């Protein structure tokens, strides 16, 4: 339903909401608070001896006084508390407007810290409200905001939107909801946005999480049954011949994953498998080996990656390996010059393995005999993009690869429904990446480190978040600065807006060591692999999310050299979230802490199967809630999901289309 129906939302607010990812009424009431502030307990001054905010009710006793000093305006007035003889002084700095609303003789709610000054109890810039308003005196939901939209406004819109709640969001029959001790989604959402107590809030949250997880599990199972296809291939291969050509031996979990994928591709039904592994765990080579095997059996494969830069790199890096087996590898991106020739060779089967971006899913890209499809970094593609590639062949085996972390307990349970393999170790000999937060004002320290590193013949990445603009840390300004400071070294720039040809050349030069310092945007975030580069410098680090920083850091520490990651920030206080990266190296732990920081407001979906499906707050789900979800799921399954409303599945995907999971 369109946001227009909600009272108070016009075109302007609609735009602001869009910035928060809210495009419909359902998005609005499913927008969860990032945190809660307990302003529910009414206090008396005499009981307070700490420096925290508390809720008081005070009566105004004087008119408003305004004093202008040379530096600022101070507004103040006096108040009293019932049953107490304390004199209360309320003071506002720089704010002569908001206290004007207060009337002598009237009571108001206050939420403030108090301190003593002379004979007075003082409250500085206190938050206050009318007695009838519940922004004070309750548990208040705090939402992620954008400028121009206040918490109060958003909260009101959400409550308005709940009037249009769509009953279809409850997919469990009424008696089942009761049977499992859950509550209806509407009631849960209402509680989540307007909690009565911490206890009832917790209950509502876990009820929503359980139902969302059950819904996702049902989705997976139903789709899996619908899309199963008979496999009609037979693979012959000599693994040792392939493995001997690699310059390392596979780790145990790589070998296990490879084996699982291989047997999947030869089972009665086509494979549809998710390969999970932290950054740098070595997922790419598994896909390459599979594609070699398919090619040796005269079947075509295609690998789709999210950026041109990554496509180019996968191509360059693996070209010689494929050549050794006489397999022709093709590269197709939006800016490939010889597109027509590539397409022709593909259709004739001369190109056996094709690597590329979403250019691969264009209509006129046709295969002779496509049987294996890989999606690298799957979460960057939409569901329909992912299915389109597999639709270019008959009975295609499908592999997706991701670094999205999953808790182990969840993994074990979900793997009963979804075929998954996990690489849970890094290749041997990897040293931990030394990570440090460096103040913007102390860059000389950094430059010395970089200089030393280059002297050792290693290479350096420098990453920032914007290309031009007047930010002194923009790509262009950093480039100038580094050119000046490191005038004897070779420095290059890389960003998404460059021509493919230039990107290709720069990546190649960097990978063969011709470039010492590569200054780049986040186009190098995923997948880029140059083992000789061992230093990652990230400017404006606070502007990135922790998971992105972890991905970026994952670009180094890929070879035998000791590696470093420097996060440049104005704020170097120990409380800065960047310090989480200093202490943590596991992507899973980082995602979890990142998640805790954001208070569970922005929820990560495990399955990422479409933005309209509800998402699972899986990272911080209690074990008992996970267990309960699987119990309900199993009960439903025994019943062939007869008691579920499955319209949510068919709604998003036409009945007759094949759907790719993961
Ligand atoms: P990711 O899982 O992040 O995609 P990559 O596939 O890019 O990781 O692998 C990271 C690096 O580790 C690459 O340089 C790759 O060649 C190397 N690598 C992969 N497997 C092994 C292994 N078993 N031993 C040593 N190095 C490996
Ligand atoms: Mg990768």
Q: What is the pLDDT of residues 440-460, one digit of tens each?
A: 888 888 999 999 999 999 999
Give the nearest ligand 1 atom to 277 CA. 2
Q: How far is the CA of 493 from the centre of ligand 1 (A)?
A: 25
CA 250–ligand 1 middle distance (angstroms) = 9
Ligand nearest to the CA of 281: 1
State the average pLDDT over residues 6-10: 93
Looking at every residue in the chain, the average pLDDT score rounds to 87
pLDDT classification of 535: cutoffs 50, 70, 90: very high
On the question of pLDDT at 662 being above 50, the answer is no
pTM: 0.72
Residue 31's alpha-carbon distances to 8, 51, 447, in angstroms, are: 17, 32, 44
- Count how many Cα atoms sit within 13 Å of the Cα of residue 546 in the half-sphere of its side chain: 23
Q: Binning pLDDT at 50, 70 and 90, where does residue 284 land?
A: very high
What confidence score (pLDDT) does residue 384 get?
Answer: 59
- What is the pLDDT, as a whole number, of residue 310? 86
Q: How far is the CA of 588 from the centre of ligand 1 (A)?
A: 18
Q: Which helix (H) or strand (E) holds 510?
A: helix 500-511
Nearest protein Cα to ligand 1, atom 17: 282
Ligand closest to the CA atom of residue 378: 2
Question: How large is the average pLDDT for residues 533-545?
Answer: 93
Ligand nearest to the CA of 275: 1
Identify whether the C-beta of residue 584 lies closer than 8 Å to the C-beta of residue 595: no
- For CA atoms 626, 630, 635, 640, give the dihedral sign: positive
Identify the residue whose C-alpha is closest to ligand 1 atom 24.
Answer: 427
Q: Which of the pair, 302 or 654, is modelled with greater confidence?
A: 302
Looking at residue 563, its pLDDT comes to 95
What confidence score (pLDDT) does residue 508 get?
84
- Tokens linked to 162: 């709940």
Nearest of 283, 529, 560, 248 to residue 430 by alpha carbon: 560
For residues 185 and 651, what is the distance between their CA atoms, to the nearest angstrom? 19
* C-alpha 559 to ligand 2 mean position (Å): 15
The pLDDT of residue 608: 38
Give 89 or 214, the one with higher predicted confidence.
89
510, two tokens? 């960097």
For ligand 1, atom 20, the nearest C-alpha belongs to 282
- pLDDT tier at 241 (50, 70, 90 boundaries)? very high
Ligand 1, atom 5: nearest CA belongs to which residue? 282
pLDDT digits (tens, 9 = 90+) for 134-189: 889 999 998 888 889 999 999 999 999 999 999 888 888 888 899 999 999 999 99
**What residues form DSSP beta bridges with 303?**
355, 374
Q: How many angstroms is it from 316 CA to the middle of ligand 2?
A: 14
- Position 42 scores a pLDDT of 95
Ligand 1 centroid – CA 556 distance (Å):
11
| Separation in Å, CA 222 to CA 210, 386, 399, 641 | 18, 18, 19, 9
Tokens 């599990």 correspond to 217
Q: Report, as an integer, the average pLDDT of 335-357.
A: 94
CA of 377 to the centre of ligand 2 (A): 7
Tokens, residue 455: 């002297």
Residue 413's closest CA among 595, 228, 659, 616?
616
Q: Ligand 2 centroid to 464 CA: how many Å? A: 21
Average pLDDT on 350-354 reads 97
Which ligand places an atom closest to the C-alpha of 288? 1
Question: Once rounded to an integer, what is the mean pLDDT over residues 67-74?
Answer: 89
Tell me which ligand sits closest to the C-alpha of residue 550.
1
pLDDT at residue 78, as a whole number = 97
Contact 565, 579 (CB under 8 A): no
Q: What percent of the chain has pLDDT over 90?
A: 53
Query: Residue 616's pLDDT is what?
Result: 43
* Distance, CA of 67 to chain centre: 49
The alpha carbon of 258 and the centre of ligand 2 are apart by a number of angstroms equal to: 15
Closest atom of ligand 1 relative to the 285 alpha carbon: 6
- In Å, what is the CA distance from 191 to each residue of 126, 176, 401? 27, 20, 37
Please state the atom number of ligand 1 nearest to the C-alpha of residue 250.
23
For the segment 51-70, the average pLDDT, to the nearest whole number, is 94
CA of 283 to the centre of ligand 1 (A): 7
Considering every ligand atom, which ligand is closest to the CA of 559?
1
pLDDT digits (tens, 9 = 90+) for 367-403: 999 999 998 876 555 555 666 777 888 889 989 888 7
- Testing ligand 1's pocket by substitution, the residue of 280, 306, 547, 587 carrying the most ligand atoms inside 8 A of its CB is 280
The protein residue with its alpha carbon nearest to ligand 1, atom 12, reads: 282
Q: Which residue has the tokens 């949510």?
A: 648
pLDDT at 619: 55
Instruction: Find out whether 125 and 93 touch, Cβ atoms under 8 Å.
Output: yes
Structure confidence at residue 25 (pLDDT): 94
CA of residue 528 to ligand 2 center, whole Å: 7
Write the pLDDT tens digit of every residue in 462-476: 999 988 777 889 999
Which residue, by CA, sits nearest to atom 15 of ligand 1? 282
Mutation to probe ligand 1, out of 246, 251, 256, 285 (largest number of atoms < 8 A from CB): 285
CA of 275 to the centre of ligand 1 (A): 14
Residue 323 is given by DSSP the state H
| Span 38-43, average pLDDT | 93
Q: In whole angstroms, what is the distance from residue 570 CA to residue 129 CA?
A: 36
Atom of ligand 1 nearest to the CA of 531: 14
DSSP state string for 162-208: GGG--GGG--B-HHHHHHTT---HHHHHHHHHS-S-HHHHHHHHHHH
Q: Which of 224-233, 321-330, 375-384 has the highest mean pLDDT?
A: 321-330
- Protein residue whose Cα sits closest to atom 9 of ligand 1: 282
- Give me ligand 2 centre to Cα 281, in Å: 8
Ligand 1, from 281, 282, 534, 587: best to mutate by most atoms within 8 Å of Cβ? 282
Residue located nearest, by CA, to atom 26 of ligand 1: 427
Given a cut of 50, whether residue 602 has pLDDT beyond it is no
**Which residues, including other chains, have CB under 8 Å from residue 408's CB and lie 6 or more apart?**
none
Res. 117: pLDDT tops 60: yes
pLDDT at residue 256 in the model? 97
pLDDT greater than 50 at residue 276: yes
Helix (H, G, I), strand (E, B) or coil at 274: strand
- Alpha-carbon distance 576 to 587, whole Å? 18
pLDDT at res. 568: 95
Mutation test residue for ligand 1: of 249, 402, 427, 586, the one with most atoms within 8 Å of CB: 427
Residues in contact with ligand 1 by the CB-under-6-Å rule are 248, 250-251, 254, 277, 279-285, 427, 527, 529, 531, 558
Ligand minimally distant from the alpha carbon of residue 243: 1
Q: Ligand 1: distance of its center to the CA of 365 in Å?
A: 30
Q: Which ligand is nearest to the CA of 277?
A: 1
Buried b (16+ CB within 10 A) or exposed e, 446-470: beebbeebbeeebbbbbbbbbeeee
Task: Give pLDDT, residue 597.
Answer: 57
User: Do residues 241 and 207 make contact, with C-beta atoms less than 8 angstroms apart?
Assistant: no
What residue's CA is closest to ligand 1, atom 18? 282
Closest-CA residue, ligand 1 atom 23, reads 250
Q: How far is the CA of 321 from the centre of ligand 2 (A)?
A: 17
Atom of ligand 1 minimally distant from the CA of 279 = 3
Q: Is 32 exposed, middle or buried (0-12, 13-18, 19+ CB in 10 A)?
A: buried
User: Which region among 381-390, 533-542, 610-619 has the lowest average model confidence (pLDDT)?
Assistant: 610-619
Banded pLDDT at 109 (limits 50, 70, 90) = very high
């Amino acid at each position: 339903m369109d946001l227009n129906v909600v009272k108070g939302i016009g075109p302007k607010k609609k735009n602001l909401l869009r910035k928060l990812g809210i495009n419909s009424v359902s998005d609005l009431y499913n927008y969860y608070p990032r945190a809660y502030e307990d302003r529910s307990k009414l206090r008396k001054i005499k009981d307070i001896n700490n420096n925290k905010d508390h809720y008081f009710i005070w009566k105004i006793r004087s008119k408003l006084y305004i004093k202008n000093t040379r530096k600022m305006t101070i507004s103040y007035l006096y108040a009293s508390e019932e049953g107490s003889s304390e004199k209360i002084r309320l003071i506002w700095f720089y704010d002569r407007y908001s206290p004007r609303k207060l009337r002598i003789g009237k009571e108001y709610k206050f939420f403030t810290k108090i301190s003593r000054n002379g004979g007075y109890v003082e409250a500085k810039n206190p938050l206050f409200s009318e007695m009838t308003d519940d922004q004070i005196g309750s548990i208040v939901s705090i939402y992620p905001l954008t400028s121009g939209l206040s918490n109060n406004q958003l909260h009101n819109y959400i409550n308005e939107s709940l009037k249009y709640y769509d009953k279809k969001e409850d997919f469990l029959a009424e008696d089942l909801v009761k049977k499992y001790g859950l509550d209806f989604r509407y009631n849960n959402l209402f509680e989540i946005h307007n909690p009565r107590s911490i206890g009832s809030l917790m209950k509502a949250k876990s009820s929503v999480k359980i139902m969302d997880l059950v819904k996702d599990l049902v989705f997976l199972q139903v789709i899996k049954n619908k899309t199963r296809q008979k496999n009609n291939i037979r693979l012959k291969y000599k693994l040792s011949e392939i493995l001997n050509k690699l310059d390392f031996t596979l780790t145990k979990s790589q070998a296990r994953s490879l084996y699982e994928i291989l047997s999947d591709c030869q089972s009665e039904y086509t494979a549809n498998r998710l390969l999970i592994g932290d950054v740098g765990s070595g997922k790419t080579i598994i896909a390459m080996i599979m594609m070699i095997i398919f090619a040796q059996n005269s079947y075509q494969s295609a690998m789709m990656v999210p950026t041109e830069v990554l496509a180019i790199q996968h191509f360059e890096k693996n070209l010689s390996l494929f050549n050794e087996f006489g397999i022709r590898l093709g590269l197709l991106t939006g800016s490939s010059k010889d597109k027509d020739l590539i397409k022709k060779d593909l259709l004739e089967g001369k190109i056996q393995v094709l690597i590329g971006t979403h250019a691969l899913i264009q209509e006129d890209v046709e295969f002779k005999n496509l049987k294996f499809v890989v999606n690298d970094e799957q979460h960057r593609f939409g569901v329909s993009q992912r299915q389109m590639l597999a639709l270019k062949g008959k009975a295609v085996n499908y592999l997706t690869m991701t670094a999205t972390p999953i808790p182990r307990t969840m993994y074990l349970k979900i793997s009963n429904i979804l075929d998954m393999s996990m690489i849970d170790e890094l290749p041997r000999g990897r040293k931990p990446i030394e990570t440090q937060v460096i103040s913007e004002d102390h860059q000389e320290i950094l430059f010395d480190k970089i200089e030393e590193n280059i002297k050792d013949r290693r290479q350096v990445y420098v990453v920032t978040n914007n290309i031009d603009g007047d930010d002194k840390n923009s790509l262009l300004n950093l480039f100038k600065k580094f050119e000046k400071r490191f005038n004897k070294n070779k420095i290059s720039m890389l960003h998404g807006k460059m021509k493919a040809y230039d990107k290709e050349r720069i990546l190649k030069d960097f990978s063969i060591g011709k470039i010492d310092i590569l200054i780049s945007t986040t186009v190098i975030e995923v997948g880029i692999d140059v083992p000789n580069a061992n230093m990652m410098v990230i400017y404006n680090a606070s502007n990135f999310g922790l998971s992105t920083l972890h991905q970026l850091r994952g670009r180094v520490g890929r070879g035998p050299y000791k590696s470093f990651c420097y996060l440049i920030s104005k704020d170097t206080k120990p409380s800065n979230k960047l310090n989480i990266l200093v202490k943590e190296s596991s992507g899973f732990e980082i995602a979890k802490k990142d998640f805790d920081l954001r208070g569970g407001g922005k929820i990560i979906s495990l399955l990422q199967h479409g933005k309209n499906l509800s998402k699972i707050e899986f990272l911080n789900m209690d074990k008992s809630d996970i267990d309960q979800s699987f119990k309900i799921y199993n009960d439903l399954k025994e019943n062939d999901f007869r008691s579920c409303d499955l319209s949510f599945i068919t709604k998003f995907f036409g009945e007759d289309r094949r759907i790719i999971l993961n």
